[in-house]
Amino acid sequence: MMVVLEGKNIEVAKGTLVSDLVHGEHVLAAYMNGHLVDLNAEIPDGAELRFVDFSHKEGKKVYWHSASHVMAMAVKSLFPEAKLAIGPSIDQGFYYDFDTEKPFSQDDLVLIEKKMGEIVQKKMPFQRVVMRKDEAIKLFSQKNESYKVELLQEIEDEHVTLYQNDDFIDLCRGPHVPHTGVIHAFKLLSVAGAYWHGDVEQPMLSRIYGIAFTQKADLNVYLEKLEDARQRDHRKLGSELELFTIFEEAGAGLVYWHPKGAFIKRSIEEYWIEEHIAAGYQLVSTPHIARGHLWHRSGHYDYYRDNMFVVPVDKEEYILKPMNCPGHILIFKSKVRSYKDLPLKFAELGQVYRHELSGTLHGLLRVRGITIDDGHIFCQPQQIEDEIVKVLELTMRMLRKYGFENFKIDLSVRDEHKKDKYLGTDEEWAQAEQGLISALQRTGLEYEKQEGEAVFYGPKIDIKLLDALGREWQATTIQFDFNLPKRFKIEYMDQGGKLKEVVAIHRAIYGSLERFIGCLIEHYKGSFPLWLAPIQIMVLPITDKQAVYAGTVLQECLNMGLRAELNNKSERIGQKIREAEVQKIPYILIVGKKEVENSTVAVRKHGKGDIGAMPLKDFLNVIKEEQGGDN
């Protein structure tokens, strides 16, 4: 019979298995007529086949999923009483959830890993078993695997597949790698609690996360990357570089910026203000607190009450603002606006407060006191597209300033089948969604359309930026709002003298400044570019005899508007260099006897080391070009 393998016609005997066509171990599974199958699947006549290896996304999934089975085998042999829940592959590796009397500890992982090693050695085949559902239920009931039984009961098919290695059997759709020996390099990474079905009401299970690779070297690279990420942790760098502290005494999720961190924050804000004024925004400033009445009218009180800080004042409730929009709307509504005034764009670096659940707080990435770089665009329907294009262009220019080059853009639209879930008319949605699409097309940005991901009050564009390690960070969001214009009756007078409802667009480019700075810290690994570095230059005299010259070097730097400091402690130069390097200061100017005689400075650049001596003027010229940052 004929089959098509990787696009080529070949002749094979009837009853040939996929594995018969495979040479070597790198092939993990195969696509047969579009379906992913095991290698020991039989090939039907005329089948179209494509091999899948670890370099394919699907291959990784199969591999990691098989690794999770190996882990489950190890767990069941060490802890026979542990009940199996689920064990899928994830973006980076796999996990398996178990119900155990006592949750696993870090020490257990070592034991489990060891056992996994033994299982891998045995090269146990993954055998696919097809069974009637009721038989499978019986089987797992006997084994006291209640979670598997529950899963089976949710399956509607009459037959189910199971995979068996020796006496270990697990409900599984598959496919799997041929045998356990294929799993070469693996590591169990962490243990965590997780609810069954992710449901708070359900039992808490013990989850083990792991990762696996076909080569030991790849695993090492991955582990190094994890270690690099740990080294970049903004919480660690934040305290080492004295950028910020979150004080237990002062409250969770509330950030105290130390001078250096505050400098960075202010630099980012100043740059933002400059760009926004140039882009036609008008800065406004609104209070941190407002009467409850305002939040009832905006609808926040009903939808968002649990996340708001409520303060009793006299006989009513005041609320710490969780968002800036109502404030900006009040300013818009303070007088009758003409179509000639539109688009009207208000911007504010507004401090908002949100009562996020304690467990979700995380360094700067999730806080309760948030600085939002908020902007609201009030415009006419026909202005939508142009305005979105302007926002996108502004966003790209600003994010690129920080060295972000790769983005993931999501366009979230409503679910056409559940229109009743959303506010706003068909016409409004069509206009808004089309405006976003046209704007994205005009700017040439690639995006992914996410059906049904829009919020109930309007469609949106979210931009995630990819940092130096390729990790995603949610930053920019551009959202239509069909809710607030109606609730607040925000209108403008058109050419015909009639009042019409405005189109309102929320947008934030950094998103949250706290999160953005956290991201920057990790992106730069604490080594800020010159324009953001709190201290740009450290002047170090080699001995006390150069103190006077070092003082003049410092002064010249300061006169140029540079942020420079002088360390004239009577320490060895190696020690003082170390202190400055640990602080990741971009430039160190070392002055000794030679430099005094020649009126030069010996320049040491962070990350590069000694770049030689040069006249101070030359150095100042070099640095002047670097000073403004990119663009």
Residues that bind RNA (CB under 7 A): 103, 105, 190-195, 198-200, 204, 207, 235, 239, 246, 248, 251-253, 298-300, 303-304, 323, 325, 356-363, 455-457, 483, 542-545, 570-575, 577-578, 581-582, 588, 590, 592-595, 602, 604, 609-610, 613
Residue 409 pairs with which residues in a beta bridge? Answer: 463
Task: Please give the order of strands across the beta sheet that includes 609-615.
Answer: 564-566, 537-541, 587-591, 600-605, 609-615
Instruction: Output the smallest distance, CB 612 to RNA, in A.
Output: 8
Those residues whose C-beta lies under 8 Å from the C-beta of residue 196, and which sit 6 or more positions away, are 85, 97, 99, 147, 202, 203, 204, 205
Q: Are 490 and 501 in contact (CB under 8 A)?
A: yes
Q: How far is the CB of 483 from RNA (least distance, A)?
A: 6
User: Measured from the CB atom, is 105 or 231 closer to RNA?
Assistant: 105
Sheet holding 168-171, edge to edge: 127-132, 159-165, 168-171
Q: Smallest distance from the beta carbon of 272 to RNA, in angstroms?
A: 22
DSSP letter string over 506-519?
EEEEEEEHHHHHHH
C-beta of 359 vs 496, nearer to RNA? 359
- Of 296 and 563, CB closest to RNA: 296
Considering the complex, state which of residue 10 and residue 582 has its C-beta at the smaller distance from RNA.
582
Closest by alpha carbon to 120, among 24, 31, 213, 21?
A: 213
Structure token digits, residue 389: 């294009």
The residue type at 459? P
Nearer CB in complex with RNA: 179/414: 414
Contact of 71 with 62, CB cutoff 8 Å: no
Q: How far apart are CA 76 and CA 549, in angstroms?
A: 72
| Interaxial angle between packed helices 426-443 and 384-401, expressed in degrees from 0 to 180 and rounded to the nearest 10 | 40
- The nearer residue to RNA, 242 or 274, going by C-beta atoms, is 242
Min dist. Cβ of residue 202 to RNA (A): 9
Q: Which residues pair with 466 in a beta bridge?
A: 472
Task: Quote the least distance from Cβ 487 to RNA, whole Å.
Answer: 9
Q: Minimum Å distance from CB 8 to RNA? A: 42
Question: What is the rounded distance in angstroms from the CA atom of residue 21 to the CA atom of residue 38?
Answer: 13
DSSP string for residues in 411-451: EEE--GGGGGGS-S-HHHHHHHHHHHHHHHHHHT---EEEE
Question: In terms of CB distance, is 103 or 403 closer to RNA?
Answer: 103
- Best CA proximity match to 392, nearest among 342, 347, 446, 351: 446
Least separation in angstroms between CB 582 and RNA: 5
Structure tokens at 54: 């670890």
Cβ proximity to RNA: between 456 and 628 the closer is: 456
Name every residue whose Cβ is closer than 8 Å to that of residue 507 and which is 6 or more positions away in sequence. Answer: 374, 375, 376, 377, 391, 476, 477, 478, 479
Residues 363 and 234: beta-carbon distance below 8 Å: yes
In angstroms, give the least distance from the CB of 207 to RNA.
5
Closer residue to RNA, CB minimum distance, 334 or 570: 570
CB of 600 to RNA, least distance (A): 9
- Residue 384 CB, nearest distance to RNA (Å)? 20
Between 49 and 623, name the residue whose CB sits nearer to RNA.
623
